[in-house]
Structure 1
Amino acid sequence: MPPQHSSGRWPIVATPDHRGATPGTSPGAVSGVHTALMPLEVRGLRFVMGEKRILDDVSFVIGHTARTVVLGPNGAGKSVLLKLCHGLLRPTAGSISWSGRTPAQDRRRRGMVFQRPVLLRRSVAANLRHGLRLHGVVRTRQSALAREALQAAGLEDKAEQSARTLSGGEQQRLAMARAWVLRPEVLLLDEPTANLDPAATRSIEQLIRGFEAAGTHVIMTTHDIGQARRLATDVLFIHHGRLLEHSPAERFFAAPSSPAAAQFIRGDLLA
């Protein structure tokens, strides 16, 4: 069972879903899906916006590692890469596939959280129930699933509070709980702790570890070297829209193969 921690509890065991599945057994079970979504394969990816080339000839394969961190300075193209992988943008060239399927397929099996969460002007619990309703979860299951996600995020005592009155860190935890409430196999997180204080950052990182321990593969972007060291099992390093390295985190931080990555790890400014 995933460990308990200060930002929440993990009650996800033997809970039948709205179709009779057991969410505690595997991610994606709430949607009744049992085939693997990984690997993620990206080949020759290019994305151009106007006259600006945001991503250029990016290729990689992410298998079944636990927490993949897309690392690089601001403006490197990290956020655009996540949106492309989730099917929110269409590439100018190249291909993206999740276990042989396009990003537009099986999107329900993935969740995405943006850097600035957009919350409804409703209660905390209602924000979760709204998403469940849109995904066709029967009403008798909505409250239980929402309650479990709020417990995991440490927000169960704020269930009836207006979501807009939460602190910045709490709003981000709610956004993550909302993305995870259907137990996605993959969770895409775009700079999940940007502009948060150390205490809120610690809670978010604990929540990320909890999601991974519950069986969800996390792919996240960050420009924070310390955060990447704490969380990454593998690292994709992007600079000026090009993928310069993809390697296990231990190797990347000990012996980066590109001069730009070595500079970034040292804390030098990149041109």
Structure 2
Amino acid sequence: MTAADHPPPPLLQACGLSFSRNDEPVFGPLDFSVDAGEALLVQGGNGAGKTTLLRVLAGLLRADRGSVDIDGEPAQPARRARAIAYLGHLPGLKADLGAMENLEFLCGLHGRRRAQLSDQALAIVGLAGYEDALARQLSAGQKKRLTLARLWLSPAPLWLLDEPYANLDLDGIELVNRMVQAHLRAGGAALVTTHGAYAAPPVRTRLLVMERPGTAAATGAAA
């Protein structure tokens, strides 16, 4: 037997995943997977359940039914904490800490990608010179860039990105695409939610289309 006879399991796999709120279905059942070096683009309008799906995958909400595996093993809380970096709608920053202080605080909680420094991450996202600026003094776009710097520093292989293009200009949108490209080249994976207004980053991509009140269709990988 060779390695080709036993391909590695998907970095993330969901089977029969469903979620309801107040007995009303939000999504599911869903079956999908994403491999290392690949992105899953999750499209759908408001109310289709995109944000809820990412919160379920991150372990912030409990699914009604179905399973989630990471690297072929059940996604227990400790495994999720090591494997997943979640970028939600809220920046998750401490308003009275500076940009650098926020990054150092979050790295202390969640770890740091090897050989990556906070000042380098700030430069990558266009915030060089803002090291001491308080988070509450930053614009919405600058706060998003600061959360992207934290994402870049994360050692987690799986990124869950909920509308990552929101509050960004065209340069910021291109920044997100470059970051996803680099993360996938390094062997990571990403789930990216979008209304469909932006093209997916130029990476190997699967598509999951979610439609209210919970129907969905997934396609295979595309170049």
TM-score by length of 1: 0.69
Indicate yes or no: 2:125 matched with 1:133: no
- 1:88-132 per-residue CA deviation (whole Å, 9 max, x = no partner) reads 111011111112131523212321111231211210000111112
Question: How has the CA–CA distance of structure 1 residues 38 and 145 changed in structure 2, closer, same or farther, with 3 Å as cutoff?
Answer: farther
Q: Name the counterpart of 1:147.
A: 119
Q: Which protein shows a greater Rg?
A: 1
Aligned equivalents of 2:59 and 2:132: distance in 1? 33
Judge conservation of contact 2:32–2:218 (CA < 8 Å) in 1. no
Aligned equivalents of 1:91 and 1:232: distance in 2? 28
Q: For this pair of structures, how many residues does the alignment match?
A: 212
* Range 104-113 or range 198-207, more displaced: 198-207
Aligned equivalents of 1:78 and 1:210: distance in 2? 24
Q: What is the letter of the counterpart of residue 244 of structure 1?
A: A
Q: What is the letter of the counterpart of residue 188 of structure 2?
A: T
Question: How has the CA–CA distance of structure 1 residues 153 and 199 changed in structure 2, closer, same or farther, with 3 Å as cutoff?
Answer: closer
Going by fraction, where is strand more abundant, 1 or 2?
A: 2
Judge conservation of contact 1:110–1:185 (CA < 8 Å) in 2. yes
Indicate yes or no: 2:82 matched with 1:113: no
The secondary structure found in structure 1 opposite 2:155 is coil
Aligned equivalents of 2:183 and 2:91: distance in 1? 18
Aligned equivalents of 1:155 and 1:205: distance in 2? 17
Q: What is the letter of the counterpart of residue 119 of structure 1?
A: L
Aligned equivalents of 2:172 and 2:49: distance in 1? 25
Indicate yes or no: 2:198 matched with 1:243: no
Aligned equivalents of 2:140 and 2:172: distance in 1? 8
- 1:6-45 per-residue CA deviation (whole Å, 9 max, x = no partner) reads xxxxxxxxxxxxxxxxxxxxxxxxxxxxxx8942111111
TM-score by length of 2: 0.82
Structure 2: 5+ residue stretches without partners: 1-7
Judge conservation of contact 1:183–1:216 (CA < 8 Å) in 2. no
Q: Name the counterpart of 1:7.
A: none
Indicate yes or no: 2:63 matched with 1:91: yes
Q: What is the letter of the counterpart of residue 104 of structure 2?
A: R
Q: Percent identity?
A: 30
Q: Name the counterpart of 1:62.
A: 34
- 1:179-213 per-residue CA deviation (whole Å, 9 max, x = no partner) reads 33132211110001124333433333333333334
Q: Name the counterpart of 1:16.
A: none
Q: Name the counterpart of 2:74.
A: 101
